[in-house]
Amino acid sequence: MTVELMACTPDPERICGEAAAICTHSGNPEKALRAAIRSGHESVLEHASYTFRITGLSRVALAQLTRHRLASFSVQSQRYVPLKPESQHYPDSIQKHGFSRKAARLSRAAMDLYAEMTEAGVPMEDARYLIPQGVETELILTMNVRELRHFFRLRCCERAQEEMQNLADTMLELCRNTAPLLFRDAGAPCVLGTCPEAHPCGSYHVNPPSLRDHP
């Protein structure tokens, strides 16, 4: 899987800071932004957005990704784009338990039947019903900063599925490179010392970042 940050709002910290300053009539946008994030007043973060190109994501992970409804998605069509038999994603656990060959054989059989059906005239949009969920796809995703922070809280968690966690971790790193203040405390809730899960993983990452006036 590859993740590319295609574009983001220019100077997102300044834009969100100005929004926070408007709300509180503050003369210091950065201080106002820090206070807004610290207080959980995150509506000001909706004024900045990020756009990513994601390649090699499985349809399993895509189904989870699209549950984040405050986002825009443009996904490679299975109605018009022929599927490649080698574009399959398998989680490490399948190999760990010795099922790689069986899984690959089953997927290959499904893809061979898909190719046979489309060559016989079955529309791709109908033949795709046979496709394994591990087939990879490509998409462009846009989220505002508030939704990204929500996404990172859920998907950077150790309890998230590995593929989704890898996606979220990569996106978070790219975001932090552009706007450290906006994403300093982003990530799994245990980064801030709390865990809302009924059955925590036990791998806590307690390292509360400072959102005070100085880094």
DSSP-assigned letters across all residues of 170-215: HHHHHHHHH-HHHHTT-S-GGGGT----SS--S-----PPP-SS--
Distance CA(19)–CA(35), nearest Å, equals 12
Question: In the block, which residue shows the tokens 């799994």?
Answer: 188
**Integer CA distances (angstroms), 201 to 94, 160, 166, 196, 209, in order:** 21, 10, 17, 11, 21
Strand partners, 5: 52
The structure tokens listed for 75 are: 């996904």
Residues assigned a catalytic role: 155
